[in-house]
Chains A and B, each alone.
Chain A
Amino acid sequence: MSSQSADPNVDQKERSGKNMKNRTPLVITLIILTVLIMLFPLFLIRGAEFEGSDGAGSEMVDEVSGGEYEPWFDPILETLIGGELPSEMETLFFCIQTGIGVGVIAYCFGYLVARKRYNTSEKTYADELQPSV
Chain B
Amino acid sequence: MCIDEALLSSYLDGELEEPYLSQTAEHLAHCAACRARLERLKGISAILAKDELPQEEIDSARERGLEVLERKLLGQEGRKPGFFRRRIEMGLGSMITAAAGLVVVFIGGFVLFGTSPEQTSEIIPSYTVQADSQNVRFVSDQETRGLDGYSLEEILSYLDSKGYNVDISIKGIQPIE
Q: Do A and B bind each other?
A: no
Q: Which residues of A pack against B, CB within 8 Å?
A: none
Residues of B within 8 A of A (CB): none
